[in-house]
Amino acid sequence: MCEELTVVRITPSVIELIAAEARRSRDGNETGGALFGFDASIHGPPLISHALGPGPQAIREPKRFLRDLEYTRRAAEAIHHESAAQWIGEWHTHPGGQPQPSDADIESYLRHLHDPELGFDMLISCIVVPVDPEWNEAIVVAWSIDQESARLLEIDVHEEAGSL
């Protein structure tokens, strides 16, 4: 990905999946999942084309979410086979919090960035917070994370397309 990301494109189907899954946080526990798509290129900013929920073995707690990693890895392979999309980040909820990364989030992101198996130089994180207690409306805030900083990104809802 390019060094100075300011925008991330997200398809409407990803926004819809995140909104539906985020409603699970009505119970006060975080939830989330992985984001897949394409890095910044000559075609423009990164594109998030696919998203997953937490998976059946995920751990959901008020201030912590651990995705079902085996589920995510299997789904990542299938998504890549189907569309060539790569695992480029994650999303999760902050049921009672703010739409910026917590200290625990930053620690998790740094572990991802240092994991050679994952191969991240940078990742995108979307944090979802409720507008109302029933999660009928929520705010999605995107961040670009690297080893040096976390930067707020503008979200451009990008129409579904077979290519960038």
Compute CA 119 distance to the chain's CA centroid, rounded to the nearest angstrom. Answer: 16
Q: What is the pLDDT of residues 72-128, one digit of tens each?
A: 999 999 999 999 999 999 999 999 889 999 999 999 999 989 988 878 888 999 999
Residue 50: which of 20, 18, 19, 2 has the closest Cα?
Answer: 18
Q: How many CB atoms lie within 10 A of CB 87?
A: 23
Average pLDDT value over all residues in the chain: 90
Tell me the CATH number for domain 7-64+73-136: 3.40.140.10
Q: What is the pLDDT of residues 42-51, one digit of tens each?
A: 678 999 999 9
- SS3 category, 159: coil
Identify any residues that bridge with 31 across adjacent strands, giving them in sequence order. none
Cα separation, 113 vs 118, in Å, equals 8
pLDDT of residue 161: 52
Distances (CA, A) of 158 to 31, 105, 114, 124: 24, 27, 30, 16
